[in-house]
Amino acid sequence: MTATIGLIGCGRWGKLVLRDLVACGAEVHVVCASSGNQAIAQRAGAASIVENLKELPPVDGYVVVTPTSTHGDIVLALMPRGKPIFVEKPLTADVDSARQIAEDDDGQVFVMDKWRYHSGVEAVRAQIAAGAIGRLRGLRLQRWSNGHEYADVSPLWILAPHDLSIADHILGYLPPLDDARAVIRAEPQLGFTAELGGTGPVSVTLDIGVANVEHARRVAAVGENGVMELRGGYETCLFVRRGPVAEPGQDVDTIPFPDTMPLLTEVRGFLDFLDGGPPPLADARKGCAIVEHMAEIETKLEGR
């Protein structure tokens, strides 16, 4: 089946989504008002380009790739049409709209959490499940960037959803927030650390911000019998040190994983779902839980 997709947005990230939708054989009808983005969509193979949702032809599903602050209104406007919706993370930029979407959703809304589809993150999850480092005790997730390019929301809303989704994907649940602290107290928007875990068996540490020389992306899993690390978004292997974690001297092994692009994987997964396959990895309820966590972190940072 050739799926027809309504792609809402064709900017910095939307043009890449359009590229992958077209590469997967979808017929894509694009909504964007900017003449520059319309030109990009035309060159990338859009079947048609319109300026608003009302002008879209009938489609099999929608992909929403617009500024974060607009997600809630657009998803709520699309839901009455009764077609599946794949919205770029986060689900929304506020708790009220996220909860409304989650409450009204009947298996229609899904979140594009790209890192759930990263082969390295999936390799970490699979290796932990197989007992490669013993019982998991903690996750350390680092995400630092060299600046912030989005005017509508703070870095928290751009960066934190990735690592919260990684924690949820590896653990199968999202631990409660314990605390969050700004790296620079007077400017919490530059970066923060957060601790999650509650009374559960696994502690999760987030280290996120934009005041860095270069991009840094790391996922480290600490088990009873070893440590495992993904050292970046473009790595093709995990690094593993087995043995008592406090003792030095163990050899470091590598575990390779497939060199696949997570955006293409999640786009293909959505198209497969429209053709009767399994649903995408994050539904509206998971998306809402992440929005709730981010709002809690923001409250703690603002309160200090």
pLDDT digits (tens, 9 = 90+) for 5-39: 999 999 989 999 999 999 999 999 999 989 999 99
Task: Give the contacts of 194 (CB within 8 A, at least 6 positions apart).
Answer: 177, 178, 179, 180, 181, 205, 206, 208, 297, 300
- When pLDDT is averaged across residues 66-90 and rounded to a whole number, the result is 97
The architecture in CATH of the region 116-260+293-303 reads 2-Layer Sandwich (3.30)
Average per-residue pLDDT for the chain? 95
Please name the residue that has the structure tokens 């709520």.
Answer: 76
Q: Are 127 and 292 in contact (CB under 8 A)?
A: no
C-alpha to C-alpha distance for 198 and 221, rounded to whole angstroms: 18
pTM above 0.75, yes or no: yes
- Kindly indicate the confidence band of residue 112, based on its pLDDT and cuts at 50, 70 and 90: very high
Intervals of CATH 3.30.360.10 along the chain: 116-260+293-303
CATH class of 4-113+264-283: alpha beta
Amino acid letter, 165: S
Q: Are 200 and 194 in contact (CB under 8 A)?
A: no
Q: Is the peptide bond before 67 cis (omega within 30 degrees of 0)?
A: no
pLDDT the model gives residue 254? 97
C-alpha to C-alpha distance for 86 and 230, rounded to whole angstroms: 27
Q: Are 118 and 233 in contact (CB under 8 A)?
A: yes
pLDDT the model gives residue 304? 57
Listed in sequence order, the DSSP H helices in the chain are 14-23, 35-43, 71-78, 95-104, 119-129, 155-171, 262-274, 284-303
Listed in sequence order, the DSSP H helices in 61-154 are 71-78, 95-104, 119-129
Q: Are 111 and 89 in contact (CB under 8 A)?
A: yes
Give the DSSP per-residue string, 34-75.
-HHHHHHHHHTT-SEEESSGGGPPP-SEEEE-S-GGGHHHHH
Q: Is the pLDDT of residue 150 over 90?
A: no
Intervals of CATH 3.40.50.720 along the chain: 4-113+264-283
How does DSSP classify residue 283? B
pLDDT the model gives residue 111? 98
Two structure tokens written together for 188: 């919490």
Between CA 84 and CA 88, with CA 85 as vertex, the angle to 5 degrees is: 155
